[in-house]
A and B are shown apart, each in its own frame.
Chain A
Amino acid sequence: GAGVSQSPSNKVTEKGKDVELRCDPISGHTALYWYRQSLGQGLEFLIYFQGNSAPDKSGLPSDRFSAERTGGSVSTLTIQRTQQEDSAVYLCASSVGTGGFSGANVLTFGAGSRLTVL
């Protein structure tokens, strides 16, 4: 597609439920990032996928959070047993890749998925 698509745009759930957030990156982009943005706060890195390499999961806040990327394209972020502190906007971004060549590291962001946990 022309841009990074995220769904759902808004999700309201009850504490303790599981949620799945989806990201469709730009076709051909090998790098994919998930970030979290809490109200009034900056970007919090969650996870990074690059091609077929093992993902960098160093930003995941707990084992309730997981993500996968199927076929090197679509990614799903799953939050199990949601808590109220999980309420935030979850952003996905993709780029051509890494490796130092011009433009490889330019990220295109999606509009985000706003998660509200009641």
Chain B
Amino acid sequence: AQRVTQPEKLLSVFKGAPVELKCNYSYSGSPELFWYVQYSRQRLQLLLRHISRESIKGFTADLNKGETSFHLKKPFAQEEDSAMYYCALGGYQKVTFGTGTKLQVIP
């Protein structure tokens, strides 16, 4: 069975500090990993996909198959990064989401 774990419900960091949102997955095949973000009063939207290997809004995420992780990172947090972040796993079954991490950036 596929599973996504986000161990932190809430992560508080100061503006300018580095951010790392953790995501671990369980999947027997080749996974497709995503990060979704939901800003206050906005729709849940795709932030980035591992297959694209791109940086979006300064965020990056690297798929580590050995550690089955897909942590989201940003070197310097901004206040506008405050949001709910969800890690998701797609394969040959339905897309599975983690429980989400609320990122709070303190000014």
Binding site for B on A (CB under 8 A): 31, 33, 35, 42-43, 45, 48, 50, 56, 91, 93, 95, 98-100, 102, 104-107, 109-112
Contact = CB atoms under 8 A, between A and B. Distances in A.
Contacts of A35: 97
A25 B54 CA distance: 27
Chain B interface size, as a band, is 20 to 34
B34 interface: yes
Interface of B: 30, 32, 34, 36, 43-46, 49, 51, 84, 86, 88, 90-100
30 contacts: A31-B94, A33-B94, A33-B95, A35-B97, A42-B86, A42-B97, A42-B100, A43-B44, A43-B97, A43-B100, A45-B94, A45-B96, A45-B97, A48-B94, A50-B94, A56-B94, A95-B95, A98-B92, A100-B32, A100-B92, A102-B51, A105-B32, A105-B34, A105-B90, A105-B91, A105-B95, A107-B95, A109-B44, A109-B45, A110-B43
Nearest to B100: A42
A99 B43 contact: no
A46 B96 CA distance: 11
A42 B43 CA distance: 14
